[in-house]
Structure 1
């Protein structure tokens, strides 16, 4: 059975504030939209539109999800990424044997093969697959059994918290190391490093 992919997105307009020194608000909106569209385009190949769920409190994000042909869920509590994932898990139910994947919405190198690798890395039904960010401290992706009350702990230095949460449940952890899952975009240095690798990331180039 294919897993569910959950993509939590806080806001198109408020995202990437750390890029405010180099990008205008309009440019950040364009960049955030392009990043989300990219992730959802790869998700259409795996696990597919019918098993992809965007969770957000932002109407603009929901509109992007609708245009991509994927499902979306409007958060009720709007208290952060971890609560959003809890809401998505409750919405999907706890079908035994099914799995939940989640990935960050700012992965410019992501491809469907990365999602397949994440989904198949851990033993079906018993393990957790984890992909660290490029700093090796944060978490950019997880895959875990849907029916396990796993504590999501996204935020600074989340990778070890996620490993500990799995250990508390007796779940083995397999780490997935792929550039498409590791390379995210948070700072001006990240944007500059990727400028010539992924040209559409640079809003000035996209607008030209």
Structure 2
């Protein structure tokens, strides 16, 4: 006889957002943007991502994991907590930081733990709320990014369970191979993480949040890509 999984807790989610040091952020945009503009863009996208996450009814706490004091200040100004990432070198530093933060969050969480990308300028609270609802029957679930290979969100329904993050190149396949379920839903803002100029063009066309929109206007971003972005 199959043993039924216990129902997931009904508490609100704790969202974890990892942000690397600003001196290393968005290097793939270097051909188009000066370092100061890349820094401004990273912080703007984080502000919009934080605003969307904090506007989600199903979200209780938001914690930013970062070694960067400027990023920490942005998190605090947005009403989020922050957790110091020691920024130690190593191939699995991001996932190690998320695992440590998840263990800390689980001490007082009564709902899902969510590892969310920091560069989702078009994210809406409605999208994240729908993804949380869709994830509820699954022990671990992911939202695959707009490229179909990355992971924009990893959702563990029970804070007592291991987050087991596997972010990095090709993370969607690694998460699926580890037993996570890919969620179906038309969530363009949740799926559109920005790493390249083409991604930024797609975000500008979709409609970013106010902080990113103002930064794009200020730096004079002009779209060059005509690539069509498909949202699952």
Match of 1:5 among 15, 18, 38: 15
Within 5 A, what are the aligned runs for 1:81-120? 81-93=94-106, 98-120=111-133
> Cα RMSD over matched residues?
2.4
Q: Helix, strand or coil: the match of 2:155? A: strand
Instruction: Show CA shifts across 1:35-63 (max 9, x none).
Output: 00001111221258851111111111101
Within 5 A, what are the aligned runs for 1:18-97? 18-46=28-56, 51-76=61-86, 78-79=88-89, 80-93=93-106
Shift in Å, 1:68: 0.6
Instruction: Show CA shifts across 1:139-164 (max 9, x none).
Output: 11011122122421101111121112
Contact 1:35–1:105 (8 Å) recurs in 2: yes
Which runs of no fewer than 5 residues in structure 1 stay unpaired? 168-172
1:194 aligns with 2:194: no
Change in Cα spacing, 1:2 to 1:109, as seen in structure 2 (3 Å) is same
Match of 1:133 among 145, 154, 170: 145
Shift in Å, 1:207: 5.0
Instruction: Show CA shifts across 1:72-130 (max 9, x none).
Output: 10024645220111111121135685310121111121010111112111235x52221
Change in Cα spacing, 1:161 to 1:94, as seen in structure 2 (3 Å) is farther
Q: TM-score of the superposition, structure 1-length normalised?
A: 0.86
Contact 1:150–1:166 (8 Å) recurs in 2: no
Q: Helix, strand or coil: the match of 2:178? A: helix
Q: Helix, strand or coil: the match of 1:153? A: coil
**Cα separation, 2, equivalents of 1:96 and 1:50:** 9
- 70-79 or 179-188, which moves further after superposition? 70-79
Structure 1 match to 2:154: 142
Which runs of no fewer than 5 residues in structure 2 stay unpaired? 1-10, 221-232
Contact 2:102–2:163 (8 Å) recurs in 1: no
Give the count of matched residue pairs.
Answer: 202
Match of 2:193 among 184, 190, 199: 184
**Cα separation, 2, equivalents of 1:48 and 1:56:** 24
Structure 2 match to 1:175: 183
